[in-house]
Structure 1
Amino acid sequence: MTNPTEPDHSAFEHNEEAGHPDAKGTLSQDQVVLIDEVVAGPDAPAFDFAVVDNKETSVYEGIVDDHEVAGLAYNVAGDSRLVLLAVSVVPEFRKQGIGTELIRRALDDVRAQGKTVTIVCPIVLTFIESNPMYADLIDVKHPGISKSRTRSS
């Protein structure tokens, strides 16, 4: 039995659009670290950084001192939807709130553009579950992954 105050790192359910035809995904250790940050990490990063939407590479980039230290990769789906693929943070910048703030600023930008999102990244899903004020950004027809509600023992 899991402790209800600890993040649940059980499998996520993926739809075929997410590229997981077996409908299951396993979290990597890097993803677990970032999910832990989203759930229990600092509310704001300890330092300032810029977020840039690099449309050429389809990545929201977290920039510190002219160096990319974090990224949220996405695909453009039509005129009004982004598919959020994966969050990454350079190891020495993890557990400092940069991943969480990157997701927040990217979702704020999506909202400002009047777009919706399809979530393929379990870290983004965990962020939205922890910050339900962003739930309205999830595309109703193409939501992406969801937390598995059943676990085998």
Structure 2
Amino acid sequence: MSSEERVPANERLIDNVDQGRFELCRDDDLAGWLYYTHLKPNRYALRHTEVASGRQHQGVGSALVRRVFDEIRAREGTITVICPFVVDYLARTTAYADLVDARHPGCTDRAAAESARAAAGG
């Protein structure tokens, strides 16, 4: 099992609705967050992923995306991909392909995602 696949004993995902982001906490510290927009009927536009500077290169980003995908799946939701990091994550696995909204998939490659993010001012 790689370090990216191991779930730390004290790791939890929080849906911070007020901030419009999912937050991954490790050892009670905010390690990373993924901004989203919740759209009707139950679609999440995944906009931007960030990892706290002290937590970079520890698999936080991938753990965060995986946990968010699992949460959205549990909510029977779909995703529209705008975030370049999420695009890259999906390119490495087919395990979450069913979550991509068929009518509004978003970006399918990193260049398109970065262009969309720049156009949105993010």
What range is the shorter-chain TM-score in? 0.7 to 0.9
Whether contact under 8 Å (2:80, 2:105) holds in the other structure is: yes
Instruction: Give the aligned partner of residue 15 of structure 2.
Output: 53
Q: What is the TM-score when the length of structure 2 is the normalising length?
A: 0.80
Deviation at 1:46, TM superposition (A): 7.6
Instruction: Give the aligned partner of residue 108 of structure 1.
Output: 70
1:132 partner SS: coil
Distance, in Å, in 2 between the alignment partners of 1:117 and 1:102 is: 15
Moved over 3 A (4+): 45-48
Number of positions where the alignment pairs a residue of Structure 1 with one of Structure 2: 109
Which among 79, 87, 93 is matched to residue 49 of structure 2? 87
Distance, in Å, in 1 between the alignment partners of 2:18 and 2:32 is: 16
Whether contact under 8 Å (1:46, 1:97) holds in the other structure is: no
Deviation at 1:60, TM superposition (A): 0.7
Which among 90, 96, 104 is matched to residue 134 of structure 1? 96
Deviation at 1:45, TM superposition (A): 5.3
Instruction: Give the aligned partner of residue 143 of structure 1.
Output: 105
Deviation at 1:52, TM superposition (A): 0.9
Deviation at 1:47, TM superposition (A): 3.9
Distance, in Å, in 1 between the alignment partners of 2:75 and 2:12 is: 19
Which amino acid in 1 is paired with 2:13? V
Which amino acid in 2 is paired with 1:66? D
- Root-mean-square deviation (CA, aligned residues, Å) is 2.0
Structure 2: any 5+ residue segments left out of the alignment? 113-122
1:123 partner SS: helix
Distance, in Å, in 2 between the alignment partners of 1:96 and 1:55 is: 26
Deviation at 1:128, TM superposition (A): 1.2
Instruction: Give the aligned partner of residue 24 of structure 2.
Output: 62
Instruction: Give the aligned partner of residue 123 of structure 1.
Output: 85
Whether contact under 8 Å (1:129, 1:135) holds in the other structure is: no
Structure 1: any 5+ residue segments left out of the alignment? 1-40
Deviation at 1:64, TM superposition (A): 2.5
Q: Compare CA radii of gyration and give the structure with the larger one.
A: 1
2:2 equivalent to 1:73? no
